[in-house]
């Protein structure tokens, strides 16, 4: 996934993911969204057909669809650009990143006195 800054936020290009089982390409059967449409994360994005099955790919982002990079019926290789989104720029991480600390363990060497 690549990212560039746009006027209203960041553009993120989503590439055709590895669909497993050694598949190296897929055919776009049907787009379930249009350029300019606002979509939510996990909303159905596109239906693809591989040599083994048809699959529906969900959107990895919420935002506006900026560009569709393939036409219906077009064959795409895994890793090729599929769709570009315009997403709001995120504020980044707020706070501190936890550090890796060794757990401390208390060991009693003698039983407590009663």
| Domains with residue ranges and CATH for the chain | 2-87 (2.40.50.100)
Q: How confident is the model at residue 109 (pLDDT cuts 50, 70, 90)?
A: low
Burial of residue 85 (number of CB atoms within 10 Å: 0-12, 13-18, 19+): buried
What are the tens digits of pLDDT across the range 29-82?
Answer: 999 999 999 999 999 999 999 888 899 999 998 999 999 999 999 999 999 999
Q: Which of 59, 49, 52, 42 is nearest to 22 (CA)?
A: 52
The pTM of the full predicted model, rounded to 2 decimals, is 0.68
Handedness of CA 94, 86, 57, 18 (dihedral sign): negative
């Amino acid at each position: 996934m690549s990212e560039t800054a746009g006027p209203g936020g960041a553009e993120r290009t989503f590439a055709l993911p590895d669909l497993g089982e050694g598949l190296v390409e897929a055919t776009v059967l049907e787009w379930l969204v249009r350029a300019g449409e606002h979509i939510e994360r996990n909303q159905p994005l596109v239906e693809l057909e591989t040599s083994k099955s048809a699959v529906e790919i969900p959107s990895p982002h919420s935002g506006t669809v900026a560009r569709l990079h393939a036409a219906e019926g077009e064959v795409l290789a895994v890793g090729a650009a599929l769709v570009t989104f315009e997403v709001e720029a995120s504020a980044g991480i707020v706070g501190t990143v936890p550090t890796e600390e060794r757990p401390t363990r208390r060991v009693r060497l003698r039983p407590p006195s009663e």
